[in-house]
């Protein structure tokens, strides 16, 4: 749930009126968003599908963080963007990119050129990774969930 929505009761996992949103929460929300509304390439959001359009990985993370379509190119200048959502978005993107970089390094460290297998993906750019010709919605969703699990594992979450 986006913090701008009005919950009907308190969160199940807290007695505090403040709910802590972790990058793992946002990344899982993005994966769920893509499952429900579809995946997109080359644009944050597919045109003509508002209010819940198919989205690229960055757009899905944005939907999970803000609860609506926002212009991700101009986040810092859009007065409608809440600062908590912006922080949640940036932390989730940062962790997702770090996770992918770590996974790419592991793949390269264990890669055997003599195997005949294709070279592991090596793309630091989130948008190029999303838009790669061989990319699939299933892989994007699985990577979002794996990154969320890694966040929980490395940050001591009870989930």
Predicted confidence (pLDDT) per residue in 50-62, tens digit: 789 999 999 999 9
| Centroid of chain to Cα 84 | 16
Domain membership of residue 4 (yes or no) is: no
Instruction: Please return the burial class of 153, using the count of CB atoms within 10 Å of its CB with bins 0-12, 13-18 and 19+.
Output: exposed
Domain membership of residue 17 (yes or no) is: no
Domain membership of residue 15 (yes or no) is: no
Domain membership of residue 8 (yes or no) is: no
- Two tokens, residue 48: 């003509």
Positive/negative CA dihedral, 105, 107, 113, 116: negative
- Two tokens, residue 56: 């690229």
Domain hosting residue 94, numbered range: 23-155
Q: Which residue has the higher pLDDT, 72 or 151?
A: 151
User: Residue 36 above 50 pLDDT?
Assistant: yes
Predicted confidence (pLDDT) per residue in 113-122, tens digit: 777 666 656 6
Domain membership of residue 1 (yes or no) is: no
Identify any residues that bridge with 45 across adjacent strands, giving them in sequence order: 55
pLDDT of residue 122: 61
Cis status of the peptide bond prior to 47, with omega within 30 of 0: no
Domain membership of residue 18 (yes or no) is: no
Domain membership of residue 10 (yes or no) is: no
Predicted confidence (pLDDT) per residue in 135-159, tens digit: 999 999 999 999 999 999 999 765 4
Cβ atoms within 10 A of the Cβ of 130, count?
21
Least confident of 72-86, 105-119, 134-148: 105-119
pLDDT of residue 88: 93
Number of domains the chain is built from:
1
pTM value is 0.80
Domain membership of residue 74 (yes or no) is: yes
**All residues at 6 or more sequence positions from 124 whose CB lies less than 8 Å from its CB, including other chains:** 97, 100, 101, 104
């Amino acid at each position: 749930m986006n913090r701008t929505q009005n919950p009907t009761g308190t969160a199940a996992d807290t007695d505090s009126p403040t709910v802590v949103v972790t990058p793992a929460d946002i990344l899982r929300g993005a994966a769920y968003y893509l499952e429900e509304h579809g995946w997109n390439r080359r644009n944050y959001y597919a045109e003509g599908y508002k209010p819940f359009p198919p989205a690229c990985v960055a757009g899905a993370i944005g939907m999970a963080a803000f609860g609506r379509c926002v212009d991700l190119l101009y986040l810092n200048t859009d007065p409608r963007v809440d600062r908590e959502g912006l922080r949640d978005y940036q932390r989730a993107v940062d962790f997702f990119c770090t996770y992918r970089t770590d996974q790419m390094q592991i793949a390269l460290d264990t890669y055997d050129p003599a195997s005949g297998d294709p070279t592991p993906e090596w793309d630091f750019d989130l948008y190029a990774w999303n838009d790669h010709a061989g990319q699939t919605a299933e892989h994007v969703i699985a990577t979002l969930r794996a990154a969320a699990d890694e966040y929980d594992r490395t940050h001591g979450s009870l989930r």
